[in-house]
Every structure is written in C-alpha cells, then in structure tokens.
C-alpha cells in the first residue's frame, strides 16, 4: 500500500463556527442560504397590493387594535362625505387609512419574504415517478405510507421515507442549499431521505413514511409562507392586553363629548376618532404580527425550520440546554494532542516515528498524528522507496512501515506492547505510567515502537483526545450570562466526560447516558419550572426530543427524530441550538422593546392633543402645550400623521429584530426602558413639532 503524499492538513483543519446571516449578536455571516436578506425598502412597494387586500374586514378583525382604527377610518370618511368642504376631516381620514395600510404593509412585507422563500422551494419540487418493488411504476403522488420504492443514480426521490436497503450519495441542495452531497444508508441515524432530492450514486430502497401533499418540502412551503403560523401564547396574551387598553381608551373617549358640552365646546366625530387612534397602542398593534413572522423568518434564513411559533418563543425562555458531546462540543474524532517520549528518547525522534507509522493509517486518528507532526516539527509526508506499508486494521489495532532493517509501529497500548515483547524487547517502565496518566485525564494513549539494530523498544506515547471545538468556552460563557445552564450529554465514562466538560466550560454533564437517562433529566428540569432545549438525530433521541420544550432534530437524522422535534435543522449542525436560543430571545426582546416604545409614544401624544382640545375653554391647560403647537387642528393632524409615519419607520426594526446582548434580565430591562421607553417618549415631541411646523407653513391651512 502506498500512502498519500499530499499534505493532509485539510482533513484536520479547524472548522469555524460561522454565524449565520443577521446573527442575533450582530455578527456577519455568509450569504447563500435559503431565505431573503435583510429589509429592503423596495419590498414596501412589492408588498403594497397585498397590504391593500388586507383591508378586508374579515382580515382586519383578527387584530383588535387595528380593527378599531379601521372602523374609525370608515366613520371619519362617512363624516367627511357629509361635510365635503371640511379639509380637516378629509385629511384626518386619509391619514387614518394610511395608518391601517402601513400596519398591513408591515405584515405583508414579513409574509412576502416567506412567500419568496416558498416560491424557491416550489421550483425545487418536481413531479416524479416511483418504481415500486413489485415492479410497477406509478406517479409519486400515488404513493402511500409503507410503500417500498427503489431509486438509482439520477432518480429524484419521490417522497419522504427511510432507507431500508443500500447506501447512496444524495444531492439535498434543493432543500438545504448546500451543494455537497450527503450519504444516506440503511440501519443508522442517517437513513431519512426527503422527497424532491436526487440520488447521485448507487441504489437504495426507500420505505415511504408520509402521504402525498404532506411531505417535508410541502410542510416547509406552508410554514415559510406563513400559512401554518399560529399565534404564540405570549403573542395572544399581548393581543388581549392591547385589546383591553383599546377598550379603556374607547370608554374614555366616549365620555369626552358630555364633558366638552358642559364646558361649552363641541368635539366632532373626526376629532374623537383621531384622539382615540393616537391614544390606543397602534404602533405595537400594527407591528405585532410582523415581529412574529420575522422571528420564524430569521430561523429559515439559518436553514432551521420551526414547526410552530410557540417553539421559537420557547427558545427565548430556555433555561437549560442539553448538548450532545460528539459533533457539538467536540469535533467527534479523537485527535493527536501531544507526543510524550519515554526517558532517553527525544521528542523529535518520537514525532518522526509516529508520523512514519501513521502514513498508512487512513483513520481520523492516524491523519491527526501526521498533521500534529507537521505542525510541531515541520515534518512532511514523503515517498519512501522500498517501504512495506502496514495499514491499520481493527484486528491488529496497529499501523506502521518496514523499510530496510527498521520496523516502526504505532497503535493501541496492548497491541504494541505485545509486538515489542514478541521481538524480545521490553516496554520502558515509564511508558505504562504515561499511558495511565493520559487515560486518567480522559484521553487515549497510543504507543509508538521501533525495531532496529538496537532491538525492539517503545519510544513513547501519543496522547489522543476528543478535541473541544474552538470558541466553545466563550459561547458557553455567553449562555451563562443569559442565565442558561448547559449540560453535556455523552456515552463516555464519567472520567472522560468530566475532563471534556471542564475543558469546554459546560455547567454540568451526563455520562454514560441512555435514552431513559435523557428523559429523566429533562423531566427533572421541567419539574423545577425550567424550559429545556436539546438536539438529536437518532430514533433513540425521539422520546427526549418530544419531551423537551425545544427539540431540534437534525435533517440527516431519522424520520422518527424529525417527527418528534418541533424544529428541524436542515444543515444538521448541532451547535446551531445556541443560535436558536439567541433568535428566540431576540424575538421576545424585540416585542418587549417595541411595546415599551409604543406605550411611551402614546403618553407623549397625549400632551399634544388634550391641551389642543380644551385649552380654549380651560386656559390653564395651555401650560401643557409644551411643544408650542400652532393651533388645535394642526396639533391633532400632526399627531395623526406622526402616528402613521412611526409605524412605517419601525418596520425595518421589527423585521430585523433588536440586537440581543447576553446580559442579565435587570440590565436588559434598564436598557430597554432607557432606549425605547425614553426614546418613545421623546420621539413624538420632536416628530409632532416638525410636522406642525410643516403644516403651519402651508398657505391656507
């Protein structure tokens, strides 16, 4: 066997935990994923027809606050028709209708982004035929659950299912956006296949697991375009609060005409409606739906499919995060971390022998030894003439090379020690001690031995360890600052698990974990009132995924795992769970920040309208006219115009979301009150005054 002579650091290079586009922490990320980019003003124009269609009262009634504005717009229009010469009434009516349209526009823009993504998925969905195992060929739409179909190279998989026979390379770019093919095989956790993807090589037999029209890609289309979005519990609760505030202000405005009559003034229907619209929480009422849709859209941009808005919201309240060790905390393959020579042997000599004996070892561990030798000592692979290469096998548990009169071996401690003794050599006393220390630290020791003219002897030990991914300690530190407890789940023994947990910086670990252990841990945390999130890809993970409040299933996993979870990661990147939590928190923070801004906004508008209404009959109220507005009509009109424009101004923020920083809840509350509470209080004073100056400068008004 001739080993490769090309440098192999690419195989062992350190992958980066690249953040995705519009990262909640504000980092940039690569484009090219499924999903639209950030807010584009051009989307306002393309979404305008849909916003106008939403003026249908059957649609408007779903948002209590904006439905009241819709009714108010209708009443002022009728009143203006009865007084056609009243420019004030017509102007107020026009801006009230614009307020409703702008509110619909915010939702239409959010939905439009999802529909664009759905159109992309529809183009990827193709009609296909299926070759059933009984020899018949039928359209993919006629397949039923349990049907067995065969797919060969070049075939489009006709429906969702599990591979029950064979192994094949599959192109899933139509769904994940990734061009690299993936392997799907029977009997493992990578057996699930998705309808609409393409087989690139070999032959597989698939058992269909979904009905036509209910495939994964069909569900994706419905979810990303908003057809299947349901309001979350917090969203429903906030809607109830906003409706209650609207009723309170409605009753308050209804009592004003008698007071005005007693004071000797008259309030028209137009003025009362304008007052009501400015005092009820129209800003957050207009943006609430867009915020929820945009939250799910941000997940789709990261190739995460949330089965419900409830799951996204729950992610923001997660207090315990269960992370699988392999592939999440660590890279998954043990890597060479150090060369430890025995007494009397130089480390450079050990490194050279370790590299030579690993050139024929194509396992990840063998490749890591070659990379470590290159990085530490500049040793590169070379072609040796007349060398007899000994490949690694599970039986011998060794690899090596024989060249000239020299033999070099590397492998499991017991196998190499036996090889040395067979040749009359001895194992140095400190070799056993070194191996024991490495094992106690949670690593794996590999002995390196050589036989030459000086006889057979052990040169030293290679320390293999499950390497923690770069940046994980910092990311777990962020989660800790969020108030989230991290628990690493592994099948390793407690000693190894503790070593990795300490290095990664997780708060706790569960060693030698079984499916029952995972379930018990989740139930214990939930019994303490905590929300739990976890990832999984195997059938044995399905019970725990179903029990967790946020269960993220890997797209490469089994159908059972994907059905059990309430989110599916199309990239099958377990570390993305950390980003999902950030997105959930960003959703909750955005909703809270804009609610704070809206309520503060309404308080400021109170000082613009009330003094204007009653200053003529109660001169003392003129002291509250701190903005110095030119006239009552100008004050009311300025407040209505500002009320409409602030909605459209906040559409980008509602779609992008408020930037999330991992800080404590009290600091976050102070920050929101300072920025959005104080900002919501000040902005109307500035905005209304500027609009008033503009209106008062128009001749004839």
Q: Of 297, 324, 466, 573, which residue is the catalytic one? A: 324
**Non-local CB neighbours of 574 within 8 Å, separated by 6+ positions:** 323, 324, 327, 328, 535, 552, 554
Residue 301 annotated in ligand binding:
no
607 backbone φψ class: left, alpha, beta (φ>0; ψ -120 to 50) = alpha
Residue 608: both structure tokens together = 């613009």
- C-beta of residue 164 within 8 angstroms of C-beta of residue 148: yes
Residue 310 annotated in ligand binding:
no
Q: Find the angle CA(384)-CA(390)-CA(393) to the nearest 5 degrees.
A: 145
Q: DSSP labels for 20-53?
A: PTT-TTS------SSS--S--THHHHHHHHHHHH
- C-beta of residue 680 within 8 angstroms of C-beta of residue 599: yes
Q: How many angstroms separate the Cα of 221 from the Cα of each of 175, 241, 297, 300, 398?
A: 11, 32, 12, 11, 51
Cα–Cα distance for residue pair 271/60, rounded to 1 Å? 23
Cα–Cα distance for residue pair 310/313, rounded to 1 Å? 5
Cα–Cα distance for residue pair 615/624, rounded to 1 Å? 9
3-state secondary structure of 591: helix
Cα–Cα distance for residue pair 673/542, rounded to 1 Å? 42
Residue 374 annotated in ligand binding:
no
The kind and range of the H/E element at 153 are none
Residue 701: both structure tokens together = 């008004």
Residue 491: both structure tokens together = 């099948």
Residue 518: both structure tokens together = 């995972």
Residue 365 annotated in ligand binding:
yes
| C-alpha torsion 316→320→324→327, nearest 10 | 40
Residue 395 annotated in ligand binding:
yes
- C-beta of residue 165 within 8 angstroms of C-beta of residue 213: no
- Bridge partners, residue 335, by sequence: 465
Residue 674: both structure tokens together = 């300072």
Residue 141 annotated in ligand binding:
no
**Non-local CB neighbours of 563 within 8 Å, separated by 6+ positions:** 542
Residue 117 annotated in ligand binding:
no
Residue 171 annotated in ligand binding:
no
**Residue/partner pairs of 431-437 with CB below 8 Å, 24 or more apart:** 431/342, 431/458, 431/460, 431/461, 434/340, 434/342, 434/460, 434/461, 435/461
Residue 67 annotated in ligand binding:
no
Residue 439 annotated in ligand binding:
no
Residue 485 Cα to chain centre, angstroms: 18
Q: How many angstroms separate the Cα of 620 from the Cα of each of 255, 264, 699?
A: 21, 16, 30
Q: DSSP labels for 660-678?
A: P----HHHHHHHHIIIIIH
Residue 410 annotated in ligand binding:
yes
Residue 525 annotated in ligand binding:
no
- Bridge partners, residue 456, by sequence: 451
Residue 324 among the catalytic residues = yes
**Non-local CB neighbours of 148 within 8 Å, separated by 6+ positions:** 132, 133, 164, 205, 206, 207, 208
Residue 635: both structure tokens together = 């004050």
Question: Which residue in 449, 443, 438 sits closest to 411, CA to CA?
Answer: 449
Residue 396 annotated in ligand binding:
yes
Query: Residues at the annotated binding site for ATP?
Result: 361, 365, 392-399, 410
Instruction: Give the annotated binding-site residues.
Output: 361, 365, 392-399, 410, 537, 541
Catalytic residues: 324
Binding residue positions for Mg(2+): 537, 541
């Amino acid at each position: 066997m001739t080993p490769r002579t090309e440098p192999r650091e690419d195989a062992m290079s350190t992958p980066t935990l690249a953040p995705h586009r519009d990262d909640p922490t504000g980092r940039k990320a690569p484009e090219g994923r499924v999903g639209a980019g950030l807010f584009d003003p051009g989307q306002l124009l393309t979404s305008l027809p849909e916003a106008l269609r939403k003026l249908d009262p059957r649609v408007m009634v779903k948002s209590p606050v904006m439905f009241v504005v819709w009714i108010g717009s209708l009443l002022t229009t009728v009143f203006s028709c009865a007084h056609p010469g009243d420019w004030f009434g017509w102007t107020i009516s026009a801006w009230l209708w614009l307020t409703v349209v702008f509110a619909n526009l915010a939702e239409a823009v959010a939905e439009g982004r999802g529909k664009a993504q759905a159109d992309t998925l529809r183009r990827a969905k193709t009609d296909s035929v299926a070759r059933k195992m009984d020899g018949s060929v039928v359209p993919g739409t006629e397949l039923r659950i349990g049907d067995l179909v065969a797919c060969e190279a070049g075939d489009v998989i006709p429906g969702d299912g599990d591979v029950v026979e064979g192994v094949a390379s599959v192109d899933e770019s139509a769904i994940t956006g990734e061009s690299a093919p993936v392997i799907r095989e029977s009997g493992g956790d990578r057996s699930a296949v998705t309808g609409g993807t393409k087989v690139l090589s070999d032959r597989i037999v698939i058992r269909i697991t979904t009905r036509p029209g209910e495939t994964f890609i069909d569900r994706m289309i419905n979810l990303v375009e908003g057809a299947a979005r349901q309001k979350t519990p917090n969203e429903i609760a906030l809607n109830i609060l906003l409706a209650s505030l609207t009723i309170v202000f409605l009753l308050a405005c209804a009592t004003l005409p008698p007071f005005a009559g007693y004071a000797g003034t008259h309030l028209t229907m137009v003025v009362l409606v304008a007052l009501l619209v400015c005092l009820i929480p129209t800003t957050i009422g207009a943006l609430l739906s867009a915020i929820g849709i945009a939250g799910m859209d941000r997940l789709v941009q990261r190739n995460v499919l949330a089965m419900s808005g409830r799951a996204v919201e729950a992610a923001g309240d997660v207090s315990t995060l269960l992370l699988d060790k392999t592939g999440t905390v660590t890279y998954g393959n043990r890597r060479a971390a150090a060369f430890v020579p025995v007494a009397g042997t130089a480390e450079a000599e050990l490194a050279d022998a370790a590299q030579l004996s690993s050139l024929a070892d194509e396992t990840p561990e063998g490749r890591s030894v070659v990379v470590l030798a290159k990085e530490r000592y500049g040793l590169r692979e070379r072609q040796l003439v007349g060398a007899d290469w000994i490949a690694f096998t599970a039986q011998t548990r060794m690899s090596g090379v024989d060249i000239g009169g020299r033999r070099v071996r590397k492998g499991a401690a017991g196998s190499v020690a036996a090889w040395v003794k067979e040749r009359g050599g001895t194992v140095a006393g400190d070799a056993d001690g070194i191996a024991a220390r490495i094992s106690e630290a949670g690593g794996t020791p590999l002995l390196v031995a050589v036989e030459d003219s000086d006889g057979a002897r052990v040169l030293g030990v290679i320390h293999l360890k499950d390497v923690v991914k770069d940046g994980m300690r910092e990311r777990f530190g962020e989660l800790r600052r969020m108030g989230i407890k991290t628990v690493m789940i592994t099948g390793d023994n407690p000693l190894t698990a503790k070593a990795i947990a300490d290095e990664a910086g997780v708060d706790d670990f569960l060693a030698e974990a079984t499916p029952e252990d995972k379930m018990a841990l989740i139930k214990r945390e939930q019994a303490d009132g905590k929300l739990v999130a976890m990832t999984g890809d195997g059938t044995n993970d399905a019970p725990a995924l179903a029990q967790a409040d946020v269960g993220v299933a890997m797209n490469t996993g089994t159908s059972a795992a994907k059905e059990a979870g309430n989110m599916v990661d199309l990239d099958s990147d377990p570390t993305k769970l950390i980003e999902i939590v950030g997105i959930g928190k960003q959703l909750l923070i955005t909703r809270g920040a804009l609610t704070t801004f809206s309520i503060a906004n309404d308080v400021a508008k109170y000082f613009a309208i009330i003094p204007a209404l009653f200053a003529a009959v109660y001169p003392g109220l003129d002291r509250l006219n701190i903005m110095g507005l030119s006239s009552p009509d100008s004050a009311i009109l300025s407040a209505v115009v500002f009320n409409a424009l602030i909605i459209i101004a906040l559409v980008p923020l509602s779609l992008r979301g408020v930037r999330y920083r991992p800080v404590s809840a009290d600091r976050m509350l102070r920050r929101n009150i300072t920025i959005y509470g104080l900002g919501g209080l000040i902005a109307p004073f500035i905005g209304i005054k500027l609009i008033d100056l503009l209106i008062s400068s128009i001749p004839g008004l």
